[in-house]
Every structure is written in C-alpha cells, then in structure tokens.
Chain A
Amino acid sequence: MNFRVGLLSTVAALLLAAPVHAETLRVGMECTYAPFNYRTPEGEMAGYDVDVAKGIAERIGVELNYVCQEWDGMLPSLLANKFDLIVASMSITEERQQKIDFSIPYRVSVGRILGSKSADLKLFDDEGKPIPEAFKGLRFGVERASTYAKWIEATLPGAEVVYYDGNLSMLLDLQSSRLDIAITNPMKAYLDFLSKENGAGFEFVSPPIDEVEYFGPGVGVGLRKGNDALLERINTALADMIKDGSLEEYSLKYFPFSIQPENWKGVD
C-alpha cells in the first residue's frame, strides 16, 4: 500500500513538473452514435457530443484526441486511464457518480419505447405509468448497462429483456421482428430510424420516460475523480456555452428542436 502511495506521488510529481504548454485531453466516445458522436464519410468526427467537446476545448485552451470505445467499456476505460474525458451522451446517475465525476448537464436525458405501428400496443395508462401486464410476452430490447436498462429492471422486473451492445444491432433486431419493443434515446430514434424508410412501420409507444431517479438530471461530461480543477474549468465553459446560445445552436444543427436542458420540449 505504501509502495503504491509512493508510486502515485512520484507519478504526480512528474506530471506536475512536466511542461504544461499544448495540453492534450483524450476524449472517449463511441464514434458510432450518430448524431451525437460519429464519423462522417470523410472520416471526420462530428455530432452534438463532438461539438460540445470542441466548444469546451476551445474555451479552456486544450487540444483534443478522440478515442473510440464501445459503450459497455466506457467507464472502465476512463478509470483505466485510456482517456481523460467521456463526452459520449452519458447520463449523470448516482451509480456512475460513485465511480466518476460529472460536469453540469449539457443535454437532457430521456428514453422512449419504440414498437411496430401494426401491433397497436398500449403499454402505458392515461397517467403515463407503465402497465406491467401489457409488457408480458413482449421481447424488450435495451442497451446493456444503460439508464434504460436500470429503469426496466426497477420498473418492469417481469419483462423479457434482451440486452444489446449497441443501438444499431438493437434497431436491426426490431426491424427483423426479433424484438417487439425497444427503448432508446428518442432524439436518435427520430433522426436515424423513425424519419427513415427503415423505421416507417414503427412509432413511439410510450411517453417520454425521464424519471430523475433513473435518468438523472441529464447528460454530462465524465472524468476521473480528483480532477477538481479540470472539472471546474469544464463547468465554467459549459455554463458559458449555455448562456451564449452555443448549445442551442449545436442542437439545431442536428435536430429540428432543442435538446439542451433549458429548452427541452420533447419530440412529437
């Protein structure tokens, strides 16, 4: 243990002694989660998360290096120092906050359930509460370890849940009728799926689900604990971006509606 502390302080001393010019931060994201973080056909990184990361970098004066990482390894990779920041549409949750720190939210966090139009599903009562019996016998797709998965496990313990590593494979299985319903990010579902030919036969079969208990206050930038100075700089930059309308502008680049917390009106 003493050895470890000694080692850590040596490393810290070395890091502090290193010249600080041209500081580079490595940013972890999936790189396949359009329109939040993805590669354009030209190979450029683009998306709302990327814009936010660039906006932060510009304001705090650092260079960015993008690291592509699958969703289920995102948090362990941050902890293992594979990168310094998560800017990957990660919702701020209590459970995650035990492991890492989050900035203030830069986007709303919400889920909605997709289902086939022809199935005529009524899964929620008039008050917007799920009806557990209605979910019986339905195969319910969700991304592993997502806030959506936590919500299902807590709210619908009897559901027949199928876990996916990514959004894309889940939507493929919804189309091929391996799944009856799937819960996902409504903004993404709207842009990539419902507004496209592939998603023509599908619709939202739930109201927006955004209980703070599971979905948290929104999506934030994640970083390892103990980086309070950096966290402070990021928070200041984000507050600035909310105030000067940059986040609003980034939203409207990708969506016909705003997705920053102050201006969320829902998709419909």
Chain B
Amino acid sequence: MSFDISLIGSSLPRILQGLGLTLNLLAVSTLLGLMLAVLILLMRLSGRSWLVWPAKAYIYFFRGTPLLVQLFIIYYGLPQFGFVRQSVLWPLLREPYWCSVIALSLNTAAYVSEILRGGVMGVDKGLTEAGKALGLTRFQRATRITAPLAVRLALPAYSNEIVSMLKSTALASTVTLMEMTGVARTIVANTFAPYEIFIAATIIYLVLVWIIQTAFSMAETYANRHVRKG
C-alpha cells in the first residue's frame, strides 16, 4: 500500500468543515450536561432517600452502559414506538443532531455529577462547621464555602471529562452527522485511504485537546491563585 503524505494536507481543510459541528456538539452537550449534573448532585446530597435513589440509579445506568448504545437507543430505538413519533418531542428526536446532544448530555451529566460530588466531599468539614458557628445559613454555607472550594477541587477531573466529551462527539458520525469524524469517514470511503485521512483527523483532535488542556490549566492556576505553592 502506498502512503500519500500530501493527502493528509489536502484532507485537513475538508475535515475542518466538520469542526463547527464538533464544537457545537461539545459546547451544547457540555452545558446541558453540567446543568443536569448539578441537579443530580443536589438530589444525591439532599439526604432524602426518595431523591437520593433516583439520582444513584441514574448515575448507575448512564455510567454503566456504553454511550454508543445509549445513542442507538435514543436514535433507532425510540422511533420504533408510534407514540414517540406522534409526540411533541418528535421534531427534536427526528433530528440526528438533537439525538446526539441528548445522548451526550445525559451521559456526561452522570460523570460530572460524580466529579462534583468528589469536590464537595473534599471540602474540609471544619470550614463548613466554622460557617455554621458564624451563623451562616445552610444556603450561604453551600454557595460561599462549599461550592467555590468544591469547584476548585473538581477542576482537574472536570477537564478530563471535557476532553473525553470531545472524543465522544465522534460517535455522532454513526447517526449520519457530518462532524469531523463523519467527514473523515466519508472521505475514507471515497478515497480508500484510511491512514492518511484518519491521521489528518487525529491531528485536529490533538490540537483541540491541547487547547482544552491549556485553558483548564490556566483556569486551575487562576482558581488556586490564593493557595501558596511549595
């Protein structure tokens, strides 16, 4: 087999046409996922069993099954039921874009809520007790003491999750979306040159991951600016 380096260069701009959709999927699902994650976290920490158990079950289900399977259930499974196609949700579920966003958001919410819980657990109990002694309400303690510290503790793990999400967006290509991997697969199918094209896609993903990593490390430095080093 011949290896054509110039094909990497010439396929880069074509794969980049899918960049917008990749970033769009990443941003929208990350945002929706984060909101859902906070909700699940609050349920999980509420101490009321009728809230804790659904949250636990949710986390167990979405961490326990492959994202690809979740996506296929939403994309191919749901429309099998007539009532889904009659429902008000159908205009959303009809679109491969929204099916992907829903699957990605539901999945990441489970992971992120656990990441955030790790942060909350990591906050020194003495600090909240001190807050209590000062007469802060439960809400004030949560928003002014626990949350800022928990976010700081959760940042490294959260950046990991964002990188993971970026790579997960590639799964959207299995439901006909033309994000970067979808474009790459189409070019491969036409040129029969998997190495060159997927290497080109790899390069773009690596650049994106580098940007995400750098941004998060800057955010971490900023968040820990009061912490003395060494």
Contacts and interface: CB of A to CB of B under 8 A. Distances in A.
6 contacts: A73-B194, A75-B192, A80-B1, A145-B190, A163-B178, A169-B76
Contacts of A178: 79, 94-96
A177 B192 contact: no
A39 interface: no
B192 A163 contact: no
Given A145-B189, A176-B85, A177-B85, A162 B176 contact: yes
Task: Tell me what chain B mostly uses at the interface: helix, strand, loop, or mixed.
Answer: helix
B188 A76 contact: yes
Interface in B64-116: 76, 79-80, 85, 94-96
Nearest to B178: A163
A99 B2 CA distance: 11
A75 B186 CA distance: 13
Nearest to B99: A178
Given A144-B186, A178-B96, A165 B174 contact: yes
A72 B182 CA distance: 12
Nearest to A173: B176
Nearest to B81: A176
B185 interface: yes
Given A162-B176, A172-B76, A176-B85, A145 B186 contact: yes
Contacts of A163: 176, 178, 182, 186
Contacts of B193: 76
B96 to A, nearest CB: 7
Nearest to A169: B76
B1 A176 contact: no
Contacts of A165: 174, 185
A255 interface: no
Interface string B162-188: 000000000000101010001001101
Contacts of A73: 194
Nearest to B193: A76
B132 to A, nearest CB: 55
